[in-house]
Structure 1
Amino acid sequence: MGRLMKLATCSLNQWALDFEGNLARIKQSIHQAKSQGCTLRVGPELEICGYGCLDHFLEEDIYTHSWEKLLDLLTDESCHGILIDVGMPIQHKNNRYNCRVIALDGKILLIRPKLFLANDGNYREMRYFIPWRPKLVEDFYLPEPIARHQGSHTVKIGDAVIQTKDTCLGAETCEELFTPRAPHIEMSLDGVEIFTNSSGSHHSLRKLDQRMSLILGATALSGGVYLYANQQGCDGDRLYYDGCAMIVVNGKIVAQGSQFSLNDVEVVSAVIDIQEVRSARFAPSRGLQSLTTQAAYQRVETDFSLSWGLDFDPSVTPSEKRPPRIHLPEEEIASGPACWLWDYLRRSKAAGFFIPLSGGIDSCSTATLVFSMCRIVMQALKDGNKQVEGDVKRLTGAFEDPEWMPKTAQELCNKILHTCYMGMETQSSQETRSRAERLAKDIGAYHTDLNIDSVFHAEKNLLTQATGFEPNFKVHGGTVAENLALQNIQARTRMVTAYYFAQLLPTVRNRKGGGSLLVLGSGNVDECLRGYLTKYDCSSADINPIGSISKTDLKRFIRWACIEFQLPILEEFINATPTAELEPITSDYVQSDEADMGMTYAELSIFGKLRKEDKLGPYSMFLRLLHDWKEQYGPREVADKVKRFHHFYAINRHKMTTMTPAYHAEGYSPDDNRFDLRPFLYPAFFSSWSFKKIDEVVDKLEKGQSI
């Protein structure tokens, strides 16, 4: 019996409902795996239809089309000669399941449904599927076209494993790895030596550490080979699937793919010595547990060997162990949103991007992310990526010679990115106007500069003409209501102007075929959490690459990009005081974000994490911060800050129902549409029972009483 075998896993840039494109990428990965001499190919979760189909999983068509594409795959002899593990949704006994289909030489060996479904945060799998019962195996009646090809009407469906001539393999699916008693534990005790995990796992900042520790831990104690496959790219929604396919042997990495890439297909392979697994398991304590474990798995046998047998090239040796490769958070920000932007741009067929560039760090970050995208695209061109080359030609060829190709990231940025500074004569400073212009120049963006005073005054005068009342800013004696209303005119004017320019700038630049630009938003996660923005202002856009990134992390990213991208202009944005510039500047007054909010951005991040990740309400948050902030603030100050946060969170929550779809990056994102499901009409917090309990504790502490 052979010891050495070459196995492959992959990351695929699949797209929800792109059945033909998805199948083409699946076949390409199989062909690449075969060309590398692999005998097993593992693909990502629900790869035939795309993971992010959401409520389309409730429609009959998606199951019909998935079977049609599976039949195409099974009948394609170029995909024979290798054991393949592919993902698709399947109906069985009037229930819907998220399944793996394991096949060989055009015949299905086993349909393995997912046991534990992801059903929190961004995931709603139990809205579409039901979980399968562990170790249950039944007969599945195949659709007629598949049955004719299979030569039988049924195959096995259930939690079984595949027994080859030389080893045994079992499948896990994404969320199952994250459960306390993951299936690989019992499978390993029953003699399964190779585990596959097919995932649709999205990128969040600092998440790879957790995912990798679980993957390494899966075989560190129990021994075995673990093949992790993942989606990569924008599947059509707010999430970016970050790839990072890997192969692990006995808790050590032997192959790791890229976490962020513009490659639509990335195959990761490794030579495995299966004897290493067997040696790692020779321990009496493990043997005793294997004898006392629950019922054995049903084995589906196949007359196929994953190993090369004894007749192999002696120069071939097992793949070497290597340390994990994990990006810094700054690098993650530079790469994840940038790759997501590229996928969205090329698949939407838009002409490029438009950013209202204010001279502040948020819109600066958005523009820098587009520049980072251009840098990644240029590297892909240098590496010979034909898919990227075709997309670049489509985008840039509309301006001039279809064969023209950019030589620098700035040249590409000039064709794709359009920025505009929309100032006011009395509100906008020369510093912000100059920073915006110089940043646009340094990254190569097509920049325009204008004042919106005429539009502002025209809108402002409508009320005076209709009622005779003339509103004023507070620095001119106006009330709080007048001041806010006048600020909002400017903010909303910028949104309307952004869409006007986005629609016509390609025409102004003589772009062949016209086409509109995608308007990018620049509201960060902390402003959204606090509601420190105007509803339907220029935070309203088509997509927002920084909508789930904190101000703190954005500053870290900009500091990093200042050096890595050789953009010294970025240093000025870091040191500038955050300001909306919506009120007139006077000799003794300049509007400040943190002064307006009554809290710092750093404090907002803490409130956000405690609220969402630690699941604390106002009272519990106050008790936690009494300890965490005891060196900074007294009990009453802590109480005031907690109550202020929750008050403004509640009264501004309605704004989140209309926020621009944002790249998901942060675990405390207040995204209302899927991630953070909360009411948007709250009782008044200042008269709430929670606030009364906080006040009660403060009173006791100030009187020296215990709580």
Structure 2
Amino acid sequence: MKHGFVKVGAATPKIKVADCQYNRELICRKIGEAESCGTKILVLPELCITGYTCSDLFWQEIMLERAKKELLEIAAFTEGMDILAFVGLPMEVDEKLYNVAAAVKNGEILGIVPKVNLPNYAEFYEARHFTPGNSRPFLIDIGGREVPFGTDILFRCREMEGLIIGAEICEDLWVPLPPSVGHALAGATVMVNLSASDETTGKDVYRKGLINGQSARLICGYIYASAGEGESTTDLVFGGHNVISENGSTLAEAKRFQNETIYADLDIKKLRGERRRMTTFPVSRKEGYEIIDFSFRMEETKLTRKFDPAPFVPGVKFDRDKRCEEIISIQAMGLKKRFEHTNCKSAVIGISGGLDSTLALLVIARTYDMLGLPREMITAVTMPCFGTTDRTYQNAVDLTRKLGATLREINLREAVMLHFRDIGHDCSVHDVTYENSQARERTQILMNIANQTGGMVVGTGDMSELALGWATYNGDHMSMYGVNVSVPKTLVRHLVGYFADTSTDEKLKSVLIDILDTPVSPELLPPKDGDIAQKTEDIVGPYELHDFFMYYILRFGFEPDKIYRIAKIAFDGVYEEDLILKWMKVFYRRFFSQQFKRSCLPDGPKVGSVAVSPRGDLRMPSDACGRIWSEALEGL
């Protein structure tokens, strides 16, 4: 349970209708299996002790008595176990029959939650047998013990702050105002749903969407367990469609018609952080709830959850292509508006033959097409200097010509050498002055050409560079509009790749592919044997690691040791643990020391859930001290 992770499960036993003893044995087996693999919360289907399809047998007193007896047996079975299980059964209270979820742990029944919304349409006839549940809890006697009975019950873990569980049953989720809304407003971060949802064509898609949507709306974990094989097939078939969702994302989903038990690791700290961030999520002060405290042994959850090493990039090609088209459209629309507002017709861009400037030029070309302007009005300036290689130079030239922009070539050597003489710098000393003088000269030329053409300089720097401060202040750091400002480096590569994949011009495609194969470099140091000598990732570290760190630091605010833990899982077999830690330290050091560069960024469109603009997602003081983050890293 370290770092807020808690292992949960949803199980569907293959029951026999009305055979409560047999069903109890299967339920206990499922609980035992789940507990043995570290599961803390297990959800079983609606009415699973008797079976959902008992119909008028629910009126048989002998079955109701046997169901209650088997519930007590299930509770006794959990004695000494560190698992909270939710099981479904019919229960008579004050001469009325209820469809309930019973929470059992460590030999006790903690509480009984009745179903509120009883479907009595289409194939459902629940109102024939059951009574809608009460909201305000009262005490009932079960096996000589008083147990709270009511919808407004929450189960709270003493040892893990924020682990609060609310329960609802099947149809409760499908109505306009589910009980889980009230549970969340009262503080619940995990919802359990005991269900018996039959299968009809296409229903699984709708059901999954409903579960994901509710978990997103309530910013919670949602554990949904449904009845499956074993129920009567007189009129219906049940598929055991179990789903575990977290804030809109499916963590685990059972294959239908197989009674599959599924497990997942919910991240309670992540959910609490999201609620904390979302100021429109109400304060947890809903009155009238009964809070039932329980205990778990505090131990580290052995994670089975997978973490995408490229969180900014969809893994499925269809989704990735859709994301790329969407981002390019956002970039182009942002630039289009700026051109229309300023009545500007001329775009000026420095083109290096690298990924960032390539993407920016492609976006400008898309923008000009949208505006109905000739691409010849785009001025792409290549500015070779001490570190320029033939490969990048030729790619810059070929790309500009294939896109139909106007190419200007201005060699910086003479101007930079004059500048070195003016400031008294030895050109044989390849230090930061040597490098940044070139970067600032490039920007000066671009700005002045923009003045000549009545245009604006379109910036090329990406979000990963800005997070690391890998940009020359008042050099490539500055422009009049930055189209890549919210695009991480790992995504830049895929955006350029998307242009290559969709291009009908074979020559353009060939150029783009070669640019994709070129090492990332600012090309500010002289080449070695004609090849790039200065490779960015050798200096600041792999961008795929930095983008991973950036995502979890900025999107969720995770603590350093948690990010290190999940990074080791995400990059297992790719990077050694000590290397991950090394570059994490670099990221935190640069991220805190370089905020002053982000505080004065040019305008640019936000394209995703993470951004570093001081006018958008990241309002950070330029003089913030990173000591507590550094100390946390030193302890790893």
What interval of TM-score do these two structures reach, taking the shorter chain for normalisation?
A: 0.3 to 0.5
Normalising by structure 2, we get a TM-score of: 0.48
